[in-house]
Structure 1
Amino acid sequence: MKVLIVSDIHGSLDSALAIQRIFEEEKCEKIICLGDVLYHGPRNDLPPQYKPKEVIAILNQYADQIICVQGNCDAEVDQMVLDFPILPFYDATINDKTCHFEHGHHLKMDGHVAQMVFFGHTHIPQMEEKNDTIYWNPGSITLPKNGSKRSYLIWENHLITLKDIDGNELFSFHYE
């Protein structure tokens, strides 16, 4: 299965259009969004092209292909306009790995039974192995922090690749 993993869209039309382009160009089967879909929150600057209504229209086109977890900036009202559920977390087996997906604002990097944990929130790409679990953060597709680039993950079969918004490979990890 080929999966596009994004986080922290924060209502940016430019980022929603990028997700649409990447999903189609990469021929992905699923989009997993790690939260903070429509609102930028009080700690972030207004994102470029902040147009949440247009973001809603784009993402709703993929409602059957999106799995989304709730971020700290997501509200109940968001669920009223999105045609896909915003879940507190999501657990699944994907590409032969047990996985846990959450936004990350309550993440504890200990004691996970999943082989892979995916989270956002920090806006900083990360891959760290701890106690037989690999923790992944795709960074933010809209508001990167600490000098990182706007980024996302592509997961196909046994290869996970971090790419910047232009599709340039930043890091890849192959597992057996």
Structure 2
Amino acid sequence: MKIMFISDIHGSLYWLNRAIEKVEQEKPGQIVLLGDYMYHGPRNPLPHEYNPAEVANTLNRYRHQVIAVRGNCDAEVDQMLLQFPMMGDYVILYHESRKIYVTHGHGYSMEHLPQLKPGDVFIQGHTHIPVAEQRDGIYLLNPGSIALPKEDYPHSYGILEGSTFTVRSFEEKVVKQITFE
């Protein structure tokens, strides 16, 4: 099954709509949201077409495909608008017999990993910087941010298909990629 990872929307209806275009094109079986849905946060500028209420409405249309975790900019009031659970700090998925630890990245992170074994996958958002690497046998992933990328990276999202994770820009360029052994 193909899984799409979207992180750090930060209330941008424009970039969420661009991501939804990719959902329609990619046709993933699941959409994993890595937090920071509606609020831009005090350290970030207002993103393009900032419209948190409409972001919630748009995400709700895909609620049956969504698996979500809470970001550091998300609150209980956001959960009141969303029709899928998103207040958990992490979720564990299994994809082709591989454990995937999914979190936003403000608690456990690539620098402070939970208990994982070689071959497991850790995916986070939070930094707005794409990552696809292996460290000490653990696969570390980050799809970057669709709305507020950092370090001159493009707006991006992630696709896990088979044993390959790809970070793609909205211009169809591969930003990062890794294949699990």
Is TM more than 0.5 here?
Answer: yes
Partner residue in 2 for 1:118: 123
Secondary structure of the structure 1 residue equivalent to 2:176: strand
Q: How does 1:60-75 map to 2 (within 5 A)?
A: 60-75=60-75
| Structure 1 residues 76 and 110, CA gap change in structure 2 (3 angstroms) | closer
The residue type paired with residue 11 of structure 2 is G
Q: Which residue of 1 aligns with 2:9?
A: 9
Question: Taking every aligned residue pair, what percent have the same amino acid on both sides?
Answer: 40
Residue 19 of structure 2 aligns to a residue whose secondary structure is helix
Find the counterpart in structure 1 of residue 100 from structure 2. 99
Amino acid at match of 1:98: K
Residue 162 of structure 2: which of 135, 157, 164 is its match? 157
| Unaligned segments of structure 1, at least 5 residues | none
Asked if 2 retains the 8 angstrom alpha-carbon contact of 1:7 and 1:152, the reply is yes
4+ long deviations beyond 3 Å? none
**SS of 1:5's equivalent?**
strand
Report deviation, 1:165: 1.9
Structure 2 counterpart of 1:117, one-letter code? F
TM-score by length of 2: 0.92
Amino acid corresponding to residue 122 of structure 1 in structure 2: T
> Secondary structure, in 3 states, of the residue corresponding to 1:135?
strand
User: In the TM superposition, what whole-angstrom CA distance separates every residue of 1:115-146 from its partner, at most 9, and x where no partner exists?
Assistant: 00000100111123222211101111100111
Q: Tell me the residue number matched to 1:21.
A: 21
Distance verdict in 2 for CA 1:60–1:110, change over 3 Å: closer
Unpaired segments ≥5 residues, structure 2:
none
Counterpart of 2:171 (choices 166, 169, 175) is 166
* 8 A Cα contact 1:109 1:130, kept in partner: no
Q: Aligned partner of 1:149: which letter?
A: P
Alpha-carbon distance in 2 for matches of 1:31, 1:91: 14
Give matches, 1:30-49, under 5 Å. 30-49=30-49
Q: Residue 124 of structure 2 aligns to which amino acid in structure 1?
A: F
Query: Equivalents in 1 of 2:130, 2:166: separation in Å?
Result: 11
What CA deviation, in whole Å up to 9, does each residue of 1:61-120 have, x standing for no partner? 000101110000000100001000002210011133111000001221364247000001
Aligned-pair distance for 1:15? 1.6
Tell me, what secondary structure is at the counterpart of 1:99? Answer: strand
Q: Which residue is equivalent to 2:180?
A: 175
The normalised TM-score by structure 1 is 0.94
Specify the code of the residue in structure 2 equivalent to 1:169: V
- The Cα RMSD (Å) is 1.4
